């Protein structure tokens, strides 16, 4: 179809005025593809492949076992410090380790242990599934009850039985942004601890973990942080909880003196206590390299562009696909994704892929379009909506 | 010092006759260094750096999110199948996932759940520390008692209260090899399940998990399998336990239909049920590449050379450092390492490092020399012992 002239010109004007336009050249992206899945797998910064090969040759090969003492062993905390500013954390509270699922298990068990005399875990009912699976296991092992509550009712649901509340900062299906300050305060008023899952918000929306007095948080690094497929997750432990953090995956890497090989566990001082086994160094150093793209970026500009891309997505829908069923909030209480319900389901997304527009599909009927301000253009947003209309016309 | 002529000539003759001599050229090793820490961090096969860079450029960059459906998602099981022959496992019983510490937690909890009505976990008292830390947490969460028993007494100690026995196949300090068939049979006679930690045996000694009717095992891939620093560990689930495997880190990657995003957990059929979160793909594919070096190798030859390197190490000690205190068994009940006690402790190993002989130190007084048959030479063994004598003479 022909794109309406007004939005085509608007896209060009917005791209021309984009203060992040030069950033796209730092990423390895096929120019034939419009990539809308940075909310699931961020694109690789161009320098990562070479940096990783150099790590293998120079650090692993060249220095061999000596590299553990020359930066590797401390890398989980060092890389955590690079993520801390992106989540509003003062230094010493973020460590990179394991997967989100595993980190959730650690923090949930530690949270219920830190809040004894209560027997309930409250969970955002719309959570990404793994959080629910893990929370159910934690409840089972600790003798707690897991109660799933719609996000809007979480704050009111927290009560005197509630040990901990677990919620997603940005909903993975709708892209809706939850109020971290309000949710955390409500949990605290009930005497509960608050754990936030930041997977869909870190690198996209402003996160103020310290400012909201959050207790614990976990997040993933392979979405908006572009750390690579399955790159290790991170844990935030508020400083006030570190000394007593009592976690179930108490492996040797979290020990106060790991190379003393003591028979008994003594947790490390600081956030390193959230570590478990030997850290996965190649993936961690790929993430370390990928984080370089943030060094010269003002996060406020990133957020502003993410919202502007979303606003323009809505504008294009209004002009090209009026009446589209969009669960993503039109106001700015959202992350960097636009979701469109389509009764055609997964085949619609497959057809978009065939036409070079790469989003993804979430059951039962949601097409997700991630907006990565570091590389997504307004022209691509227009292309996505135009192509979606073409696909709908061809399939229906 | 001057090396005794006989051992110098013997080293040359042994290297000349080494059927694996050509393998060394496949590894990226500084020729000035004699590397004896392949039992802690295996050396990189030369092709890994390039393969990993290609994964970043072609799979992550070129195919982006599509790569998950084009081989990534199934890679943990596919790479597990490559490890299976090295641990005597028929197909479908090994999966690569997480760290050894995390995998131990999964298997121990699943093992005690699979053997109800018993309240004790028995642990090899000389275990690598992380196993003990994790077992203590499992005992605490499941209401079991953790009892630490010297390795030689484990079999007799298993009784009607014992739910599970956890032991190390090769002791990380002494290099001693435990009898897997006998230990497993003793656990089974007592009605207990048997979990083996293979970290120091996989890729070094013959492992017959199926043949010994082992229930569960875990192992690491960054030692003799050369997977890279902190490369992901593996879990062996005997087929008979898979259908009921009930693990605590039940994340979305172990779900029967992960992309259906179901609110309730249903474990996958098969060994994939031991997976937890999103797999760490770059590290996993580095391991995948590294495993290529085993493709054209007869494992019996690897074991034979590992023992011969050890025998030659003893011969050199006898000639050059008679009376050395060696906890490693002189008979062949050992892995591929020789340990030497030295009252000089860690400074002795530091001095060896300065002279280009890279082993490692374990408290209180053990110098460890790993023997990696794919790249260690007999001449290097002679150099290690000669250099050790020089260091001792200079320090004492």
Q: What is the pLDDT of residue B304?
A: 98
Average pLDDT over residues A40-44: 98
* Interfacial B residues in 129-158 facing A (CB < 8 Å): 129-130, 132-134, 136-137, 141-142, 148
Our CA angle for A318, A320, A321, nearest 5°, is: 70
Q: What is the pLDDT of residue A41?
A: 98
Average pLDDT, chain A: 97
Average pLDDT over residues A219-246: 98
pLDDT for A396 beyond 70: no
Going by C-beta distance under 8 Å and a sequence separation of 6 or more, which residues neighbour residue A286?
A48, A51, A52, A227, A228, A231, B56, B282
Structure token digits, residue B120: 């004790």
Nearest CA in chain B to A280: B230
Residue A347 CB coordination number (10 Å): 12
Q: What is the pLDDT of residues A339-367, one digit of tens each?
A: 999 999 899 999 999 999 999 999 999 99
Residues of chain B with pLDDT under 50: none
Do A166 and A122 contact (CB within 8 A), yes or no? Answer: yes
* Interfacial A residues in 18-57 facing B (CB < 8 Å): 28-30, 33, 35, 37, 40-41, 43-44, 48-50, 52-54, 56-57
Our CA angle for B271, B274, B276, nearest 5°, is: 140
Q: What is the pLDDT of residue B1?
A: 55
How far is A319 from chain B, CA to nearest CA, in Å?
Answer: 29
Of B164, B105, B106, B94, the closest CA to residue B131 belongs to B105
pLDDT for A292 beyond 80: yes
Do B133 and A251 contact (CB within 8 A), yes or no? Answer: yes
Average pLDDT over residues A365-387: 98
Q: What is the pLDDT of residue B2?
A: 61
Q: Contacts of residue A68 in chain B, CB cutoff 8 Å? A: 41, 229
Assess whether B197 carries a catalytic annotation. yes
Q: What is the pLDDT of residues B236-262, one digit of tens each?
A: 999 999 999 999 999 999 999 999 999
Q: What is the pLDDT of residues B126-162, one digit of tens each?
A: 999 999 999 999 999 999 999 999 999 999 999 999 9
Q: What is the pLDDT of residue A395?
A: 84
Q: What is the pLDDT of residue A312?
A: 98
DSSP structure class, residue A272 = G
Q: Contacts of residue B99 in chain A, CB cutoff 8 Å? A: 98, 251, 276-278, 280
Contact B53 A57 (CB under 8 A): no
Contact B48 A56 (CB under 8 A): yes
- In a 3-state reduction of DSSP, which class is residue A122? strand
Nearest CA in chain B to A173: B261
Do B166 and B172 contact (CB within 8 A), yes or no? Answer: no
How far is B28 from chain A, CA to nearest CA, in Å?
Answer: 6
Q: Contacts of residue A72 in chain B, CB cutoff 8 Å? A: 229
* Interchain contact A105–B (C-beta under 8 A): yes
DSSP structure class, residue A45 = B
CA distances from A222 to A301, A395, B26 (A): 21, 33, 32
Of A198, A194, A225, the closest CA to residue A212 belongs to A194
Structure token digits, residue A253: 């890497």
Domains of chain B are 5-32+298-395 (3.90.1150.10), 50-294 (3.40.640.10)
* Interfacial B residues in 314-353 facing A (CB < 8 Å): 353
Contact A101 B50 (CB under 8 A): no
What secondary structure does DSSP assign to B25-54, as a single string?
GGB---TT-EE--TTTSPPPBTHHHHHHHH
Structure token digits, residue B193: 């399940």
Of B236, B172, B238, B237, the closest CA to residue B204 belongs to B172
Q: What is the pLDDT of residue B387?
A: 98
ipTM: 0.97
Average pLDDT over residues A166-191: 97
pLDDT for A184 beyond 60: yes
pLDDT for A325 beyond 60: yes
Structure token digits, residue B329: 């068994």
What secondary structure does DSSP assign to A156-178, as a single string?
HH--TTEEEEEEESB-TTT-BBP
A230, A251, A264: residue with CB nearest B281: A230
List, in sequence order, every beta strand (DSSP E) within B120-189.
120-124, 145-149, 162-168
B44, B105, B142: residue with CB nearest A56: B44
Q: Determine how β-strand B120-124 pairs with β-strand B162-168.
A: parallel
* Interchain contact B221–A (C-beta under 8 A): no
Structure token digits, residue B385: 């012992």
Contact B278 A60 (CB under 8 A): no
Average pLDDT over residues A119-139: 97
Assess whether B223 carries a catalytic annotation. yes
Region for residue B26 given its phi and psi (left: phi exceeds 0; alpha: psi -120 to 50; beta: otherwise): alpha
Do A168 and A197 contact (CB within 8 A), yes or no? Answer: yes
pLDDT for A3 beyond 80: no
């Amino acid at each position: 179809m022909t794109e309406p002239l007004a939005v085509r010109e608007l896209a060009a004007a917005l791209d021309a005025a984009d203060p992040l336009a030069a950033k796209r050249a730092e990423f390895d992206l096929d120019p034939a593809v419009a990539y809308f899945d940075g909310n699931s797998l961020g694109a690789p910064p161009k320098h990562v492949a070479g940096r990783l090969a150099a790590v293998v040759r120079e650090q692993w090969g060249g220095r061999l076992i000596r590299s553990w003492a020359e930066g590797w062993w401390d890398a989980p905390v060092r890389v955590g410090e690079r993520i801390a500013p992106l989540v509003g954390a003062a230094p010493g509270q973020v460590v990179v380790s394991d997967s989100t699922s595993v980190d959730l298990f650690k923090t949930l068990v530690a949270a219920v242990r830190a809040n004894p005399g209560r027997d309930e875990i409250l969970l955002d009912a719309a959570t990404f599934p793994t959080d629910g699976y893990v929370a159910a296991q934690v409840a089972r092992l600790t003798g707690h009850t897991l109660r799933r509550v719609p996000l809007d009712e979480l704050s009111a649901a927290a009560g005197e039985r509630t040990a901990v509340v677990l919620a997603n900062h940005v909903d993975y299906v709708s892209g809706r942004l939850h109020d971290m300050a309000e949710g955390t305060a409500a949990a605290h008023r009930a005497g509960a601890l608050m754990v936030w899952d930041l997977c869909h918000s870190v690198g996209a929306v402003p996160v103020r973990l310290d400012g909201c007095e959050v207790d614990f948080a976990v997040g993933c690094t392979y979405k908006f942080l572009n750390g690579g497929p399955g790159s290790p997750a991170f844990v935030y432990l508020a400083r006030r909880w570190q000394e007593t953090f009592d976690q179930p995956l108490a492996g040797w890497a979290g020990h106060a003196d790991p190379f003393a090989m003591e028979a008994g566990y003594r947790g490390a001082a600081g956030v390193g206590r959230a570590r478990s086994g030997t850290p996965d160094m190649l993936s961690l150093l790929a993430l370390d390299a990928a984080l370089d793209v943030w060094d010269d970026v003002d996060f406020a500009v990133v957020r502003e562009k993410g919202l502007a891309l979303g606003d323009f997505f809505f504008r294009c829908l209004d002009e090209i696909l009026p009446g589209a069923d969009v669960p993503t909030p039109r106001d700015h209480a959202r992350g960097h994704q636009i979701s469109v319900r389509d009764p055609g389901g997964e085949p619609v997304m497959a057809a978009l892929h065939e036409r070079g527009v790469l989003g993804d599909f979430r059951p039962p009927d949601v097409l997700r379009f991630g907006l990565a301000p570091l590389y997504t253009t307004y022209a691509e947003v227009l292309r996505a909506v135009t192509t979606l209309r073409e696909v709908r016309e061809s399939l229906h």
